[in-house]
Structure 1
Amino acid sequence: MKNEDYAIVIDHATVRFNMASERIDNLKEYFVKLLKKELMFKEFFALKDVSLKVKKGESWGIVGTNGSGKSTLLKLICGILKPYKGTVVINGSMAPLIELGAGFDPDLTARENIFLNGAVLGHDKHFMQEHFEEIVEFAELQNFLDMPIKNYSSGMSARLGFAVATVVRPDILICDEVLSVGDYAFQQKCEKRMQYMRECGTTLLYVSHSAESVKTVCEKALWLRKGENVMIGDAETVMDQYIKFLER
């Protein structure tokens, strides 16, 4: 199968960070050590030789304990990070929900942020005006439109971000635990929209600590541990093994 048949192709990707191994209290000390070549760093590998192929229209859950590399992998796919080794190929438009409130200005109102976030996602003002009421209705924030985002709860921000990101059907939708801050009713509402988008051909990458949610929403799953692949397969099998691992 050619790469064009896949939405995402990750081939032996490694992500490396350099962490300072000593404390430096000011810029002067930093530059002196830099010029003298005395700066010491420790290498930290957030992802190690990870490979993944996601066919167009598939839904994948990405699971693992905190610090396993899930968010790093999503940032790699979104282009926020570049691989130290390996390659990442993306085919199609993308709507990422990887950080709560990303694309929002906390000092602007929700009304203003809808247009700002839409512009970040590549939508023009006319398009956002056409879909404004649909976004507000889905987010259930009719009474809070003229309130600054900084006064929103994390759940309200997540609802607004999800509503804007899914107002059109992207080729690839990425959700990183942002729905976990919403109430149960809204989580169910979001899951139904994701199911609908899947049926329409959207590729889904979904990070969640809820095993049942991953089994419901996803066909396949990737389990990461300390930046490495542990298991790849159908969601039911991977989640069962992951739960057994957690119980041990």
Structure 2
Amino acid sequence: MYIDCQHLKIEFPIYNAQQRSIKRSLLNLAGGRLGQAGGTMTVNALEDITFRLAEGDRLALLGHNGSGKTTLLRALAGVYSPSGGYVKTCGRISSLLDATLGMEPELTGIENIKLRSLLMGIPKQQLPSLIDEVIAFSELEEFIYLPVRTYSSGMVLRLAFAICTAQPPEILLMDEWISVGDAQFKDKAEKRLQQFIQQAAILVIATHDAHLAERVTNRQLHLVHGRIAG
């Protein structure tokens, strides 16, 4: 298993360069600098990002808000296509970038479990046991046949977290440390998250917390305005 990132560049085009509000929004989102390519104004979100990770590596992405950490995670996950360079991965990628992403509010809890499991590539024969485990861990037995739109935000997060952490990861991408639910559930979720991280062959986590980075990672990458610092 590996992640091979070489000279990665991510650009977002701005098709109407007169709209300053759009420019500012993209800069805040991506953390890059304005540039120009082929007459089109662009935001250079990431530029010349190069690193390689092998099994056992735990990488912390450090930097200020808007430095490009989340953009890099999304590029590693395949959400963004490179404008230059490349990202190659070997291993199943599990993302905790947004645990509730892909939850369908009109579907029931159990339908969401089935849908997310299929999207995660979980074999059909494993589905019954996974459904039982997710329901038990999320403590939503009484609500699992109700539409997710009837859930509180905490209930949605508990269900999404239980689904995301149900399958042992090979390559794990995380955007900050996740905190889920009330005090009692939070303790249970923290233990599950620790175990989930330990099972990963490769971890990449974006964080502002230098102490957390020292505790859970063995490599660090500092980003400044979409470039590797230093």
| TM-score bin (small chain) | 0.7 to 0.9
Q: 1:41 to 1:100 in 2, by over 3 A?
A: farther
146-155 vs 92-101, which moves further: 146-155
Is 1:76 matched up with 2:75?
yes
Could you state the TM-score of these two structures normalised by the residue count of structure 1?
0.73
Between the aligned partners of 1:58 and 1:102, the Cα distance in structure 2 is 26
- Greater Rg by CA: 1
Q: 1:188 to 1:51 in 2, by over 3 A?
A: farther
User: How far is the alpha carbon of 1:163 from its aligned partner?
Assistant: 1.8
- Map residues 38-57 of structure 1 onto 2, 5 A cutoff: 41-57=40-56
Q: Which residue of 2 aligns with 1:15?
A: 10
Q: 1:112 to 1:207 in 2, by over 3 A?
A: same
What SS is found at the alignment partner of 2:178?
A: helix
Between the aligned partners of 1:150 and 1:131, the Cα distance in structure 2 is 22
Q: 1:70 to 1:183 in 2, by over 3 A?
A: farther
Between the aligned partners of 2:218 and 2:187, the Cα distance in structure 1 is 18
Between the aligned partners of 1:188 and 1:229, the Cα distance in structure 2 is 35
User: How far is the alpha carbon of 1:54 from its aligned partner?
Assistant: 1.5
Aligned length: 211
The 8 Å contact of residues 195 and 217 in structure 1, kept in 2 or not, is answered as no
Identity between Structure 1 and Structure 2 (%): 33
Larger relative contact order (Cα-Cα within 8 Å, sequence gap ≥ 6): 2
User: How far is the alpha carbon of 1:153 from its aligned partner?
Assistant: 4.2
What SS is found at the alignment partner of 1:88?
A: strand
Between the aligned partners of 2:201 and 2:221, the Cα distance in structure 1 is 18
Is 1:196 matched up with 2:191?
no
Q: Which residue of 1 aligns with 2:60?
A: 61
User: How far is the alpha carbon of 1:117 from its aligned partner?
Assistant: 0.4
Structure 2 residue ranges without an equivalent (≥5)? 20-38
RMSD: 2.7
Q: In the TM superposition, what whole-angstrom CA distance separates every residue of 1:157-211 from its partner, at most 9, and x where no partner exists?
A: 3332232222221211222237246556555544433443454453222223444
Between the aligned partners of 2:73 and 2:153, the Cα distance in structure 1 is 21
User: How far is the alpha carbon of 1:73 from its aligned partner?
Assistant: 0.6
Q: Which residue of 2 aligns with 1:106?
A: 105
Between the aligned partners of 2:177 and 2:150, the Cα distance in structure 1 is 18
Structure 1 residue ranges without an equivalent (≥5)? 1-5, 24-39, 232-248
